[in-house]
Amino acid sequence: TSASKLRPVGAIAAMIIGFGLDELGLAPVGEAATRGLLYAWLFVSVPIGLAIVVNLLFAPSPRRLACAQLARRLRLAARRLTDTATEAERAAFDACVREGDHQILTWLKFSKLEGTSTAADCAALRQAAASTTAILLATDLAASEPAARLSAACAARLAETMERMAAMLDAGGYPVDVVADLPEPAALSTQSPQSPQSSQSPLSALVLADLRAALEGFAVPPSKTGASPAPAPAAPAPEPARGGFFDADAFTNPDHVRYALKTTIAAMFCYVLYQQLDWQGIHTCFITCYMVSLGTTAETVEKLTLRIAGCLVGALLGTAAIVFVTPALTSIDQLMALVFVGAWLAAWVATGSPRIAYAGMQIAFAFFLCVIQGDAPKFDLTLARDRSIGILIGNVVVYLMFTRVWPVSIAGRIDSALDALVKQWTRIARVADTGTRTALVAGALAQYGALRQNLGLIHYEPSWVRPAPAWIASRWRALAELGALEGPLFLAAGRAGAVADTRLRELARRIESVDHAEDDVGQRAAGTQTQAPHTGPAVDSTADSNVDALSHVIDARFGQIADAAHSSELKEAVTDARP
C-alpha cells in the first residue's frame, strides 16, 4: 500500500482480507463459509447498483457540474472586480484561486465518457477552465494592488460581460465570439473621487489586456486561434516518477517497510486482544488499524481523530434514537424515515470539507449499526458501546505505534512539495506562451493549496515529532512569498524572469539557513530584515514599463511580508517554545 499505486484502496483490501479470514474462522462448517462468501457479493453489488441507478436518475451530469463551477468562478470574479463582494464571496474567490482546475478537468473527462459532451465541447470547456484561471489571477491582482486597479466604468463593463457568460454556462452551453465591450478612452479617464488613480497605469493596462484576452478567447481552443501552443516543459518532467505500479523509491526507502510493520503489528495486537477477551463486539479495533494508518504521523492522527469523533456522534445519535424514537415506531415507513434523517445528517457532513468528510462516513456507520439491527426495530444498546470501545482501543494502539515507533513527520513531504513549487514558478517566469503558462499556473495553484493543507496538518503531530516553531514559521512565510508572485508572474509573460529568479533564490537560501539554524530565531529574523528591501537589479535597463511595474509590485509585496515576519515569527517562537 505504501510503496505502490495501490495506496487509495490498499488499506481497504487488506482490511477486508484480514477481517474476512477472522470471520471464516467463526463458521461452523465449510459450507456455511462458502455461502457467506457468495452472499458477500450481494453486499457489494446491491448498493453499487442502486447508487448507479439513483445517480443516473437524479444526480447532475459531470458536464453540468463543470459548467456550474465555471459560472460560479466568473460571478465571483465579477463581484471581486467591482468591489461588491461580501466577506463570504471573497473567501470563496480565494478558495477558487487555490483550487486550480483539476476537478473541472476530471468532470469534463467523465462527461466525454458518458456521452454528454462531444470532443469539440470538451476542448472548448477545457480552454474555458484555463481562461477562468487567468481571469481569477488578473482579477485578484486588480483588486488587491492599487496600481493595478481598473476604472469603475471598465470594471463594470467587464463584470457585466462575465455575468452574461456565466448565465450561458448555467444554461448548459458555453460562450463563443465574446466581445469585451469596454468604454471609450475618455470614459476610462473619468474616475470617481475615491479612485486611487486618475489615469490608467502601466500595470492596470496590462491587467486589462490580460482580462480582455481571457474573455474574448474564453472557450476558443488554441488550435482555432491560429497559434501553435508550445508543449508545457514541466508536464513531462514528473511522469517518470509516476510511471509504473511501484513508486520510484519502493525498494530503497525504509519508510515503506516500517509502515507495513507498524500497521501489521498494531492490527495483530488488536486481533489477539479481542480473541483472548472473547469479545467479538470490539472487533472494530482491528478494522481501525487498517483504516487510520497513513504514511505520516500527522495524517494518521488527523484520521483517527475524525474516526473516533464520527463514531461517538453516530453512536450518541443512534442510542438516542433507540431510547426515545424507536419505541414509538409502528411501521416500516417510520423506521425508514428515521434512517433517512440519520443518513441525511451524515451525508451532509461527508460532502463537506475534506478535513471533516471522513467523520460523516463514521457517523452514518455507527448510526446504522444502532438503528438497523434486523428486520424489525430492536433495542440492543451494546452495539454502540462495543463499537465505540473498539475504535477507541484501535486509535490508542495506532497512535502509540505511529508516534513512538519510527515516527514519520509530514515535514519531509512539505519540503519536497515546496521545492517542487519553487521550481514550477521558476519555469513559469520563463514561459512566454499564454496557453502553456496558464496550464503551468493552474498546476502551481493546486500544489499551493495542497501544501497549505499539509502545513495545517502539522499541528496534529506531537511535540517530539513536530518540527521547531522556527521551521513552521519559515514555511508559512515561504508560502506567502510564493503567493505574492502568482499574479505578477502570470502577467509577466516570460519577461520578468530576472525578478522571479532573484526572489526565488532568496527564498531558497532563507529556507536553507533556517534548516541549519532553527533555534537561532533572532539571527533569522534579522536576516529577513536585511533581505527584504532587495534593491538589486530586477530587470535590465531595456525592460519595458510593464515589467518595471510588475517588479515594483513584487518588491513591495515581499517587503510587506518581511516586515510582518520580523514581528510575527518572534512572537510565534516565544509562544510555541517548548521547555
Q: What mean pLDDT do residues 385-412 have? A: 93
C-alpha grid cell, residue 306: 475524525
Same domain? For 41 and 165 the reply is no
Per DSSP, 219 falls in state T
At 299-314, the pLDDT tens digits run 999 999 999 999 999 9
Residue 306 lies in a domain: no
DSSP string, 424-471: HHHHHHH---HHHHHHHHHHHHHHHHHHHHHHHHGGGS-TTTSPPHHH
Residue 13 lies in a domain: yes
Give the C-alpha separation, 340 to 342, whole Å: 5
Contacts 24+ apart (CB under 8 A), 509-514: 510/474, 510/477, 510/478, 511/415, 511/418, 511/474, 511/475, 511/478, 514/470, 514/471, 514/474
At 417-437, the pLDDT tens digits run 888 888 888 788 777 777 777
Give the C-alpha separation, 71 to 168, whole Å: 8
Same domain? For 184 and 43 the reply is no
Res 447 pLDDT > 70: yes
Of 358-367, 402-411, 495-504, the one with minimum mean pLDDT is 495-504
Q: Output the CA torsion 224→225→228→234 (10° steps).
A: -90
Res 541 pLDDT > 80: no
Q: What's phi and psi for 92, nearest 5 deg?
A: -65, -40
Band of residue 554 on the pLDDT scale cut at 50, 70, 90: low
Are the beta carbons of 417 and 450 closer than 8 angstroms? yes
Are the beta carbons of 261 and 12 closer than 8 angstroms? no
Candidates 490, 475, 440; CA nearest to 209 is 490
Identify the pLDDT of residue 500. Answer: 64
Same domain? For 462 and 512 the reply is yes
Same domain? For 426 and 529 the reply is yes
Helix (H) or strand (E) holding 69, with range, is: helix 62-81
Same domain? For 421 and 570 the reply is yes
Of 25-34, 277-286, 315-324, 559-568, the one with minimum mean pLDDT is 559-568
Domain count along the chain: 3
Candidates 403, 401, 383, 395; CA nearest to 308 is 395
Identify the pLDDT of residue 362. Answer: 92
Which of the two residues, 493 and 541, has the higher pLDDT score?
A: 493
Last residue of a domain, one of 224, 255, 270: 224
Q: What mean pLDDT do residues 368-394 have? A: 85
Res 404 pLDDT > 90: yes
Band of residue 268 on the pLDDT scale cut at 50, 70, 90: very high
Residue 91 lies in a domain: yes
C-alpha grid cell, residue 253: 526507502
Res 412 pLDDT > 70: yes
Give the C-alpha separation, 256 to 35, whole Å: 37
Q: What mean pLDDT do residues 71-95 have? A: 91
Same domain? For 66 and 54 the reply is no
The total of other beta-carbon atoms located within 10 Å of residue 135's CB is: 24
Q: What mean pLDDT do residues 458-478 have? A: 89
Same domain? For 116 and 210 the reply is yes
Q: Please give the sequence-ordered ranges of beta strands (E in DSSP) within 269-373, or none if there are none.
A: none
Of 151-160, 499-508, 527-536, the one with minimum mean pLDDT is 527-536
Same domain? For 41 and 151 the reply is no
Identify the pLDDT of residue 374. Answer: 76
Are the beta carbons of 339 and 368 closer than 8 angstroms? yes
Band of residue 338 on the pLDDT scale cut at 50, 70, 90: very high
Residue 80 lies in a domain: yes
The total of other beta-carbon atoms located within 10 Å of residue 246's CB is: 13
- What residues pair up with 460 in beta bridges, in sequence order? none
Give the C-alpha separation, 407 to 465, whole Å: 7
Contacts of 515 (CB under 8 A, 6+ apart): 471
Q: What's phi and psi for 4, nearest 5 deg?
A: -140, 175
Are the beta carbons of 107 and 201 closer than 8 angstroms? no
Give the C-alpha separation, 397 to 400, whole Å: 5
Are the beta carbons of 122 and 174 closer than 8 angstroms? no
What would you report as the CA-atom Rg of the chain, rounded to the nearest whole angstrom? 28
- What residues pair up with 246 in beta bridges, in sequence order? 4
Identify the pLDDT of residue 307. Answer: 92
The total of other beta-carbon atoms located within 10 Å of residue 92's CB is: 18
Identify the pLDDT of residue 124. Answer: 92
Of 109-118, 517-526, 545-554, the one with minimum mean pLDDT is 517-526
Of 11-25, 103-117, 170-184, 381-395, the one with minimum mean pLDDT is 170-184
Res 499 pLDDT > 80: no
At 341-378, the pLDDT tens digits run 999 999 999 988 888 999 999 999 999 988 888 777 77
Last residue of a domain, one of 15, 30, 58: 58
Residue 192 lies in a domain: yes
Are the beta carbons of 533 and 559 closer than 8 angstroms? yes
Res 165 pLDDT > 50: yes
- What residues pair up with 4 in beta bridges, in sequence order? 246
Contacts of 502 (CB under 8 A, 6+ apart): 534, 536, 538
Give the C-alpha separation, 87 to 97, whole Å: 15
Same domain? For 40 and 82 the reply is no
Q: Which domain holds residue 110?
A: 62-224
The total of other beta-carbon atoms located within 10 Å of residue 93's CB is: 22
Identify the pLDDT of residue 517. Answer: 53
Band of residue 556 on the pLDDT scale cut at 50, 70, 90: low
Residue 251 lies in a domain: no
Give the C-alpha separation, 539 to 551, whole Å: 8
Identify the pLDDT of residue 190. Answer: 43
Angle between helices 434-457 and 297-320 (to 10 degrees): 70
Contacts of 303 (CB under 8 A, 6+ apart): 291, 292, 294, 358
Are the beta carbons of 383 and 296 closer than 8 angstroms? no
Share the mean pLDDT of the chain: 80
C-alpha grid cell, residue 520: 537561532
Identify the pLDDT of residue 247. Answer: 87
Q: What mean pLDDT do residues 143-160 have? A: 87
Helix ranges (H only) for 217-296 are 239-242, 254-276, 284-292
pTM, full prediction:
0.79
Res 197 pLDDT > 70: no
Last residue of a domain, one of 58, 79, 102: 58
Same domain? For 52 and 68 the reply is no
DSSP string, 351-390: TS-TTTHHHHHHHHHHHHHHH-SSSS-----HHHHHHHHH
Same domain? For 48 and 80 the reply is no
Identify the pLDDT of residue 524. Answer: 39
Give the C-alpha separation, 310 to 398, whole Å: 17
Res 240 pLDDT > 60: no
Q: What mean pLDDT do residues 178-187 have? A: 66
Q: What mean pLDDT do residues 35-51 have? A: 88
Range with top average pLDDT, 30-39, 162-171, 202-211: 162-171
Residue 31: is it exposed, middle or buried by C-beta count within 10 angstroms (0-12/13-18/19+)? exposed
SS3 236: coil
Q: What mean pLDDT do residues 446-474 have? A: 89
Are the beta carbons of 410 and 297 closer than 8 angstroms? yes
Q: What's phi and psi for 353, nearest 5 deg?
A: -60, 145
Residue 270 lies in a domain: no
Count CA atoms within 13 Å of residue 205 on its CB side: 10
Residue 292 lies in a domain: no
Same domain? For 134 and 39 the reply is no
